Every structure is written in C-alpha cells, then in structure tokens.
Amino acid sequence: MKIRLARKEEIQILLKFEQELVEFERSFDSTLKEGKISYYDILSRINSKDSCVLVADVNEELVGSGFIDIVKAKPYLKHKYFGSFGFFYVKKEYRGKGVNKSILSGLINWAKNRDVNEVRLQVYDNNINAKSVYLKYGFEPTLLEMRLNLNK
C-alpha cells in the first residue's frame, strides 16, 4: 500500500468515495438530506497550498482517502492555526488493515512540516469503530455537540 497525494484526474473516484461516506454516515445522522449531497470541495483542496488530500493506493487502485486543511483558529485560542481533518474513507474490503491510520499519519506529517501543532477532527459519537481508531492514535475528546429536534 502506498500513501500519496491525490491527483486531479482521480476526482471522479474521490467523489464516489464521498457519496459512499455520506451513505455510511446516514445511519448516524437522520438530518442529512436524501439523495446526492456533498460535504467537501475535494478538487479545491487538491489545488490548495493550505490543504493536503491523501489517498491509499494498492496496485494502482484507490482504496482510501483523507484530507487536512490548515484553518485559522478562533482569536481566543492559544494557537493561531490548526489542522482540521475530513474525508476519511476506506473501502470495505480494506477496513481494519491500517489504511486509515496510514493516511492519518501522512496527514499529520504534512501538518508538522508546516509548523501546525494542533489537529482536530469531528466524529459521530456513536461511530464506535472510528472513535476507537482516533483514541488509540492519541486524540482526546473535547467538545460534544448536541442537538434537539423541536418538531417532535
């Protein structure tokens, strides 16, 4: 398995990954609209100096993805910038084989090389498998977002 930068010409595969990720996350979030929706502007991230989109490549087949953006922090925080992760996706047949961890490591190295000293991500609270991976990697829970549907 090779972890490498995503290429513009791979955008259709990456957009398919995004739709599969959306479908997976529908089980965690009943507020997502039906049909095709888009979370990310993947192409602009591929072209941005403040983002890094990595893919896992096995024999020239893309099997996973993830990105990090360098984001300006709120003025009340100690750090000026932080890394914000997203788009972690691994094809079913490659899950549990360290693909996500390898992509995460590559993105963290990219951030360190740009003097970013804080990274963050969002994960659904009931996505136990993903939370487990991130906790093992050393992430710590911070803010829990809660919601209340007022139409019930």
Question: Could you report the per-residue pLDDT of 83-122, keeping only the tens digit for each?
Answer: 999 999 999 999 989 999 999 999 999 999 999 999 999 9
Query: pLDDT-based confidence at 123, cuts 50/70/90?
Result: very high
What are the start-end ranges of the H helices in the chain? Answer: 11-26, 42-47, 99-112, 128-137
Q: Where are the domains of the chain?
A: 2-137
pTM above 0.85, yes or no: yes
Scan for tokens 């094809």, then name that residue.
Answer: 91
Q: Which fold would CATH assign to domain 2-137?
A: Aminopeptidase (3.40.630)
Q: Is residue 129 predicted with pLDDT exceeding 90?
A: no
Q: What are phi and psi of 111, to 5 degrees?
A: -65, -45
**Among 44, 38, 86, residue whose Cα is nearest residue 65:** 86
